[in-house]
């Protein structure tokens, strides 16, 4: 089994990634977009960035789009600004049912875990 600390890698590359946003909502992040049919997996190498929301949703921004919204089960109480998310997966894809491990950014203490749901694609709005 290969360990892919997806969120840790993204957080290291992109400052502020994976911080629960207080001022933005999912509706604001997806303004003007329409949901497509759900997918069970997304390719991990295509993830460019991710954004978490206090509600427990994660928006995966993909290289070349579309972006994918995933509402994880039972994670709303532990996703916050000072957390880091990691996952272990046997493939190069994130899939429904994969387990996210949420840890404190400073102490590295594990706060809990939650499972990924379906990935809902949202095409990016084309700017004129």
Domain ranges, residue 10: 3-122
Per DSSP, the residues of 7-74 read: HHHHHHHSTTTTPPBSS--HHHHTTT--B---BSEEEGGGEEEEEEBTTSEEEEEETTS-EEEEE-TT
Confidence band, pLDDT 50/70/90 cuts, at residue 37? very high
List pLDDT tens digits, range 87-112. Answer: 887 889 999 999 988 888 899 898 88
Number of other CB atoms surrounding residue 22 within 10 Å: 10
pTM listed for this prediction: 0.75
Q: Has residue 45 been placed in a domain?
A: yes
Q: How many domains does the chain have?
A: 1
Whose tokens are 């994130």? That residue is 94
**Residue 127: inside a domain:** no
């Amino acid at each position: 089994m290969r360990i892919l600390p997806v969120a840790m890698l993204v957080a290291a590359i992109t400052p502020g990634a994976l911080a629960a946003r207080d001022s933005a909502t999912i509706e604001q992040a997806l303004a003007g977009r329409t949901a497509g049919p759900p997918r069970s997996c997304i390719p991990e190498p295509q993830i460019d960035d991710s954004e978490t929301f206090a509600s427990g949703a994660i928006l995966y921004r993909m290289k070349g789009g579309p972006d994918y919204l995933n509402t994880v089960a039972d994670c709303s109480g532990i996703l916050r600004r000072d957390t880091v998310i990691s996952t272990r997966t046997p493939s190069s894809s994130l899939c429904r049912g994969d387990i996210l491990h949420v840890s404190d950014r400073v102490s590295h203490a594990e706060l809990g875990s939650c499972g990924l749901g379906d990935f809902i694609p949202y095409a990016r709005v084309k700017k004129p």
